[in-house]
């Protein structure tokens, strides 16, 4: 949800402000958003691995 909102914000910012400086600002915002989503993905991968290990241990007699 938040990623879609950020993408929309980025798009509209980019559309509304055609000057070079504001385009750079919009690109910076987009890069930060991308960075945050990558961090989130890493966290989810880590959590999934933990859950997997937990169930693997639980399954053993």
Domain range summary for the chain, segments of one domain joined by +: 2-59
Structure token digits, residue 34: 């991308």
How far apart are alpha carbons 45 and 26 in whole angstroms? Answer: 29
pLDDT attached to residue 5: 65
Average pLDDT of the chain is 75
Check pLDDT > 80 for residue 4. Answer: no
Rounded to two decimals, the pTM is 0.39
40 with 2: CB under 8 angstroms? Answer: no
Check pLDDT > 60 for residue 55. Answer: yes
Reported as a pLDDT band with limits 50, 70 and 90, residue 27 is confident
Rounded to the nearest 10°, the torsion over CA 38, 43, 48, 54 is 160
Reported as a pLDDT band with limits 50, 70 and 90, residue 61 is low
């Amino acid at each position: 949800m938040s990623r879609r909102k950020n993408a929309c914000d980025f798009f509209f910012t980019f559309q509304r402000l055609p000057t070079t400086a504001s385009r750079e600002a919009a690109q910076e915002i987009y890069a930060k958003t991308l960075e945050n989503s990558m961090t989130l993905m890493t966290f989810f991968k880590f959590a999934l691995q933990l859950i997997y290990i937990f169930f693997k241990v639980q399954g053993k007699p």
